[in-house]
Amino acid sequence: MFKERVFAIVQGIPKGETLSYRQVAELAGHPRAYRAVGSVLKSNRNPKIPCHRVIRSDGSVGEYNRGRALKMKKLKSEKAI
């Protein structure tokens, strides 16, 4: 299922690195489903899935289900941005 593939891919993003929503969609086998990746991650409540490490293709941070400010704080603390 797409949702499980997205979560597995995102769970594998190492600390200090990021992937774009588009890259996650491509790795999940659905290269044009980058908006669906965002929808899947918006529903994530599992702290073991670091959805804050998924950013927009243009390099901007994008949204986060726990608030954009927290996403930026986490990415900065991991030296990902």
Ordered domains of the chain (ranges, CATH): 2-77 (1.10.10.10)
Helix 2-11 vs helix 34-42: angle between axes, to the nearest 10 degrees?
Answer: 80
Q: What is the DSSP string of 6-27?
A: HHHHHHTPPTT--EEHHHHHHH
Q: Which residues pair with 55 in a beta bridge?
A: 20
- Predicted confidence at residue 78, as pLDDT, reads 97
What digits encode the pLDDT tens for the residues 57-80?
999 999 999 999 999 999 999 999
Tell me what the mean pLDDT of segment 7-30 comes to: 98
The percentage of the chain sitting over the pLDDT mark of 90, rounded to a whole number, equals 99
- Predicted confidence at residue 35, as pLDDT, reads 96
Residue type, 69: A
Positions marked active-site: 51
Tell me what the mean pLDDT of segment 13-39 comes to: 97
